[in-house]
Structure 1
């Protein structure tokens, strides 16, 4: 196995060395590709030192040396990768020693396009733990049981009940089918949730298999400056980011001719539900009334998938 690990780097000078070294512990890691995204801190200088120190570390910036976001940075990393497999790692996260244990066995089968596993949580400071422990606790981000590849997409779009989640940090995918079957890689117009949107589409096109689901294979690093924790802690209203996320999924699904109509309708319900959630109060009630009259079954199904107290009002 030759694995290219893609690491987007932004404002992570304190953490990126640990991330890189956690990937370099594996013989299978052929290269670690750092995409420095015009960080406001000294991350570029740290990345330059890492590239000088380790032969397997390659450093790139965007052609204009500007800031383009995590999605565009991952896309550039995939483009620059030369391994047979691609894995991902955020610059403030890190791999554990068992990261590729399941992959070594599963990728012996050519039918396996990708493998996913469980993500743990690590608090970088007591302040971060105090602030975000109620949100993350010590729980695994994982899929709750082993599903066949055909069910992974349906599970992620909430059509299989309690499916769970898996993180981009725990995904390893064959590069060839990734490039062949995915017309678009990461959406560059989404500031948040690019990884979740990518995983939704990826699981539709590729056969993704469960690896280690009951133990962490990588760790989410939680600190005060995480972008996603600002959303999850309600500093940014989650519905305002999720409506854009579901808009992208809905637009993609509508143009996918082979997708069953019932799946398209379910995705559209989710999108409309978050449209309602993000609307001003007066307009919100008007939209709810409209859909209860003209499409009660559909909108009820969608609304049950969001949190009324936190997301709807």
Structure 2
């Protein structure tokens, strides 16, 4: 196996060495693609030192040396990758020694186009744990049991509460399959949740198989400056970012003839629920009443998918 590990780097001066060295422990890792995204800290200099120290570490920036966000930054990493397989690793996360154990066996079968595993959590400080333990706990982020590849997409979309979710840090993809079947890669229109949208489409187009689900193969590092925790801590209203995510998913699903109609409708209803959440109070009740009359399940779906009291009002 020749695995290209793609790592977008932003504001990760304190963590990037650990991330890189956790990937270097594997002979299967052919290269680590660092794409620095105009960090406000000293991350660029640390990345330069890593690229000088390790011949498997390659450093890139956007042509304009600007900040473009995680989606375009991962896309640039994909353009530069030359391995047969693609894996991702956020700059403040790290791999565990069992990260590619399942992949080494499963990818012997050519029909396996991707493998996903379980993500653990580590709090870098007591303050981070105090702030975010209620969000992440000590839980694994994973699909909770093994499913046939054809069930992964509808499971991610339609049964998210019981099916579970997999993380991009624990995903390994056959590069040729992704290049042939998935375009665009990460949506540049999304500043946040672009990995969630990517995983939805990936699980639709590619046959993804479960790897190690009962224990972590990688670890999410939680600290006070995570981009996603800024959203989850209500610095940014969650509905603001989620409505953009589900608009992208809804627009995409409309044009895919083989997606079952009930799944398309479920996506539409989630999109509607976040649109209601973002609407001015003067319009909100009118939208609720209209959907109660014309499509009650839109309201019921919204109650399931968003925090009705906090996100909606």
TM-score category, normalised to shorter length? over 0.9
Q: How many residues align?
A: 313
* Paired residues of 1:37 and 1:65 also in contact (CA < 8 A): yes
Which moved further from structure 2: 179-188 or 260-269?
A: 260-269
Quote how far apart the aligned CAs of 1:282 are: 2.4
Aligned to 1:38: 38
Which moved further from structure 2: 256-265 or 30-39?
A: 256-265
State the TM-score, normalizing by the size of structure 1: 0.97
> Partners in 1 of 2:161 and 2:193 — Cα distance?
21
Aligned to 1:229: 229
Quote how far apart the aligned CAs of 1:160 are: 6.6
* Paired residues of 1:266 and 1:302 also in contact (CA < 8 A): no
1:132-151 superposed matches below 5 A: 132-151=132-151
Aligned to 1:80: 80
> Partners in 2 of 1:291 and 1:171 — Cα distance?
38
SS in 2 for 1:162: helix
SS in 2 for 1:143: coil
C-alpha distance 160-193 of structure 1, shift in aligned 2 (>3 A): closer
1:13-24 superposed matches below 5 A: 13-24=13-24
Quote how far apart the aligned CAs of 1:312 are: 1.7
Aligned to 1:10: 10
CA RMSD of aligned residues (A): 1.2
Structure 1 unaligned runs (5+)? none
Structure 2 unaligned runs (5+)? none
C-alpha distance 84-295 of structure 1, shift in aligned 2 (>3 A): same
Deviations 1:26-67 (A, max 9, x none): 000000000011111111100000000000000001111111
SS in 1 for 2:239: helix
1:220 equivalent to 2:212? Answer no
State the TM-score, normalizing by the size of structure 2: 0.97
Aligned to 1:189: 189
* Paired residues of 2:270 and 2:298 also in contact (CA < 8 A): no
Aligned to 1:250: 250
> Partners in 2 of 1:121 and 1:69 — Cα distance?
23
Aligned to 1:54: 54
> Partners in 2 of 1:269 and 1:187 — Cα distance?
21
* Paired residues of 2:273 and 2:301 also in contact (CA < 8 A): no
> Partners in 2 of 1:85 and 1:290 — Cα distance?
48
